[in-house]
C-alpha cells in the first residue's frame, strides 16, 4: 500500500484523507532544537498560567468550550476528513472535549485542594499535602481519536496549572492544530500567552526530543512505542503515564439478552472501524447460545453501511463505518485474518478491503472457529474484525479472557447483574462493563487505564488530574518548643526514654499487659 505521507526536503508532512486519499493539508516538522525552543516558551507561559487561581483557569477553559460548540460543524468535517470516521463519531469527540472541560472546571479545585493529615505518631506537627503543577507536560498521541486524545487529554493538565506541548500523530495533526487555535482564542481574549498550549509536529524523533525536555510525558499509543518512551523518560527520571493497547474480551453467557449482546458486539467491535483501544477485540460465547448469537451478529454486520459522510446531507440514514486511518493498520488486519484462516478460522462475512470505495476501507468482518493459537485472539488487531470463540462455560471464558498480555477493558453479558459483577471482578482489566461496552471511557468521574502491558497511570476522576501534579508535603511544628526530644545533644537519659517508649508503643506483650492492667 502506498504511503500517503512523505517528508519533503523542507521537512513537510503531507496529510491525506483516508476517506478520499486526497491531500487535505501539510505541516512542518519540528526539529529537536525547535522542540527545545517551544518548551522554553511553554515554561515562560507556565509562570503566568500557574499563578492564576482555579476559578480564573476554569473561566478561560469554559470560554474555549464555547468556541468548540460554536465551531462544531467545521470540527466535525475536519475530523471526518482527517481520520475517516463517520460524522456521529466526530460529534462524540467534540462532546468529550466539552464534557471534560466542564468536569474539571467544576472539580479541579476540590480534587487539588490541600489535604490536612493528622499524623498518627508526630501529633505535634501540622501536615498538609499540596498538589503542585509539574511545569511543562509533554503529550505524545495517536491518530484514532485525534481531538479527544490531544486537546481532551490536555484539559486536566491545564486545569492543574501546567503548560502543555502536544505532539499529535503525524497522520492526524490538523485537528489538534485547529483545537489548539480555539483554545488560543480563549487565552487571547483573557490577555494570556498562547504558549500555555502548543502543538509540535513530526515523527518519532520529534516525540523523543519532547521526552528529553518536558517535566512529564503523557503518552498514548502502542505498547512498542510506549516502552521506548518510558525508557527514554527513565534516563531523566521524569514521570510518564502510558495509555497503551488492548485486546479487550467480551464474555457472553447463556442467560444473556442476546439481542443487546449482539448489538453491543457489532458496535463495540466496529465503531471507529475498530480503531479503538477499548473496542471489543475478541468474543467468548457459551456453547448453548453461540449459534444464535453469531447469527444475529452476522445479520447486523451485513446491514452496516460504509462510506464517507463528512458534510451534513438531507438523508436520514447515515453511514455506520468509515475508513481506516493508518495504512499499516490495514496490513495488520489482513495479516491477522490470513493467519487465522491458515489455522482453520472461518470468515462469516467481510474479510477484505472494500474496493467499491475510493479510500482506505476494510469491510466489517466476523470470524468463527478461532482459538488462542491465532494472532486474531492474542495480538491487538485494531481494525473492524470480530472473532467469536465458543466456550464450554463461564470458567473457560474467564480463563481465556485473562490469557492475555493486555488488560485494558472487558465486558460481560448476563441477565444476572450480580453474577456479571462477580465475574467482572475476576477479569484482569482496568475497566469491565456488565451488559455494556466501551462505556467506561464516558464515565469521566472514574479512573480509566490499563493493567499489564496496557499501561501505567489513569486518566479521568481525581487521579486523572493529580497525575499532572507533584505532591508537596508541608510539615509545620505546632507548639514552638525550644528543642525536640531526639535533637542534639544526645544523652543516655533520652536514649533510655526513647528505648522505653519504643517498647511500650510496639511490643505486643507489653501492650497486652497494659490492656489487662487497664481492664480493657
- Per CB under 6 A, residues contacting ligand NAD are 140-144, 149, 167, 169-170, 203-204, 207-208, 220-222, 225, 228-229, 243-246, 277, 326, 380, 382, 408, 450, 455
- Supply the minimum distance, in Å, between the C-beta of residue 406 and ligand NAD: 9
Closer by beta carbon to ligand NAD, 248 or else 394: 248
Closer by beta carbon to ligand NAD, 82 or else 394: 82
Closer by beta carbon to ligand NAD, 142 or else 384: 142
Catalytic annotation, pick one of 170, 195, 243, 380 = 243
| Cα 244 from Cα 131, distance rounded (Å) | 26
- Supply the minimum distance, in Å, between the C-beta of residue 227 and ligand NAD: 10
Active site residue 243: yes
Q: What cell does 244 get?
A: 497503551
Under a CB-based contact definition with an 8 Å cutoff, are residues 364 and 306 in contact? yes
Closer by beta carbon to ligand NAD, 161 or else 383: 383
Handedness of CA 462, 464, 465, 471 (dihedral sign): positive
- Supply the minimum distance, in Å, between the C-beta of residue 48 and ligand NAD: 28
- Supply the minimum distance, in Å, between the C-beta of residue 141 and ligand NAD: 6
Closest CA to 457 of 466, 446, 449: 449
- Cα 197–chain centre separation: 19
Closer by beta carbon to ligand NAD, 429 or else 462: 429
Q: What cell does 124 get?
A: 505535634
Q: What cell does 423 get?
A: 465475574
Q: What angle do CA 131, 132, 133 make, to 5 degrees?
A: 125
What residues pair up with 95 in beta bridges, in sequence order? Answer: none
Catalytic annotation, pick one of 89, 195, 215, 277 = 277
Q: What cell does 233 get?
A: 523518560
Write the secondary structure of 322-357 as one string of H (helix), E (strand) and C (coil): CCCCCHHHHHHHHHHHHHHHHCCCEEEECCCECCCC
Cis peptide before 489 (omega within 30 of 0): yes
Q: What cell does 302 get?
A: 451485513
Taking each helix axis from N to C end, the angle separating 223-236 and 204-211, rounded to the nearest 10 degrees, works out to: 30
Closer by beta carbon to ligand NAD, 379 or else 394: 379
- Supply the minimum distance, in Å, between the C-beta of residue 148 and ligand NAD: 8
Under a CB-based contact definition with an 8 Å cutoff, are residues 294 and 285 in contact? yes
- Supply the minimum distance, in Å, between the C-beta of residue 144 and ligand NAD: 5
Which residue minimizes CB distance to ligand NAD?
A: 207
Residues taking part in catalysis = 243, 277
Amino acid at each position: 500500500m502506498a504511503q500517503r505521507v512523505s517528508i519533503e526536503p523542507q521537512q513537510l508532512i503531507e496529510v491525506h484523507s483516508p476517506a478520499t486519499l486526497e491531500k487535505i493539508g501539510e505541516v512542518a516538522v519540528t526539529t529537536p532544537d525547535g522542540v527545545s525552543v517551544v518548551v522554553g516558551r511553554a515554561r515562560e507561559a507556565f509562570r503566568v498560567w500557574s499563578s492564576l487561581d482555579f476559578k480564573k483557569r476554569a473561566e478561560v477553559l469554559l470560554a474555549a468550550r464555547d468556541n468548540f460548540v460554536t465551531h462544531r460543524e467545521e470540527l466535525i468535517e475536519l475530523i471526518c476528513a482527517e481520520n475517516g470516521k463517520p460524522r456521529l463519531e466526530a460529534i462524540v469527540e467534540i462532546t468529550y472535549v466539552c464534557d471534560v472541560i466542564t468536569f474539571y472546571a467544576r472539580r479541579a479545585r476540590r480534587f487539588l485542594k490541600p489535604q490536612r493529615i493528622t499524623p498518627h505518631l508526630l501529633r505535634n506537627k501540622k501536615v498538609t499535602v499540596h498538589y503542585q503543577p509539574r511545569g511543562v507536560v509533554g503529550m505524545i498521541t495517536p491518530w484514532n481519536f485525534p481531538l479527544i486524545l490531544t486537546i481532551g487529554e490536555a484539559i486536566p493538565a491545564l486545569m492543574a496549572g501546567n503548560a502543555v506541548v502536544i505532539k499529535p500523530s503525524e497522520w492526524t495533526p490538523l485537528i489538534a492544530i485547529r483545537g489548539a487555535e480555539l483554545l488560543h482564542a480563549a487565552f487571547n481574549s483573557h490577555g494570556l500567552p498562547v504558549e500555555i498550549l502548543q502543538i509540535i509536529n513530526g515523527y518519532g524523533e520529534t516525540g523523543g526530543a519532547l521526552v528529553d525536555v518536558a517535566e512529564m510525558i503523557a503518552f498514548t499509543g502502542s505498547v512498542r512505542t510506549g516502552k521506548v518512551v518510558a525508557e527514554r523518560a527513565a534516563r531523566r527520571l521524569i514521570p510518564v503515564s502510558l495509555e497503551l493497547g488492548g485486546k479487550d474480551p467480551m464474555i457472553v453467557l447463556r442467560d444473556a439478552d442476546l439481542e443487546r449482546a449482539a448489538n453491543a458486539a457489532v458496535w463495540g467491535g466496529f465503531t471507529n472501524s475498530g480503531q479503538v483501544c477499548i473496542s471489543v477485540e475478541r468474543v467468548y460465547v457459551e456453547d448453548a447460545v453461540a449459534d444464535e448469537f453469531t447469527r444475529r451478529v452476522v445479520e447486523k454486520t451485513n446491514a452496516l453501511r460504509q462510506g464517507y459522510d463528512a458534510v451534513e446531507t438531507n438523508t436520514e440514514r447515515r453511514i455506520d463505518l468509515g475508513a481506516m486511518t493508518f495504512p499499516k493498520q490495514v496490513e495488520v488486519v489482513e495479516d491477522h485474518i490470513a493467519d487465522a484462516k491458515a489455522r482453520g478460522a472461518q470468515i462469516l462475512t467481510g474479510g477484505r478491503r472494500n474496493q467499491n470505495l475510493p479510500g482506505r476501507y476494510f469491510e466489517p468482518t466476523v470470524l468463527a472457529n478461532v482459538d488462542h493459537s491465532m494472532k486474531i485472539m492474542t495480538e491487538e488487531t485494531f481494525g473492524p474484525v470480530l472473532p467469536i470463540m465458543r466456550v464450554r462455560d463461564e470458567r473457560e471464558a474467564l480463563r481465556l479472557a485473562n490469557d492475555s498480555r493486555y488488560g485494558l477493558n472487558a465486558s460481560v453479558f448476563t441477565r444476572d447483574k450480580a453474577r456479571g459483577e462477580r465475574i467482572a471482578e475476576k477479569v484482569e482489566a482496568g475497566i469491565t462493563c456488565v451488559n455494556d461496552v466501551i462505556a467506561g471511557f464516558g464515565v469521566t468521574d472514574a479512573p480509566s487505564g490499563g493493567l499489564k502491558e496496557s499501561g501505567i497511570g489513569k486518566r479521568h476522576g481525581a487521579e486523572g488530574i493529580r497525575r499532572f501534579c507533584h505532591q508537596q508535603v508541608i510539615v509545620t511544628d505546632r507548639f514552638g518548643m525550644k528543642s525536640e526530644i531526639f535533637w542534639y545533644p544526645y544523652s543516655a537519659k533520652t536514649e533510655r526514654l526513647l528505648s522505653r517508649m519504643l517498647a511500650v508503643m510496639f511490643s505486643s506483650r507489653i501492650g497486652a499487659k497494659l490492656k489487662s492492667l487497664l481492664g480493657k
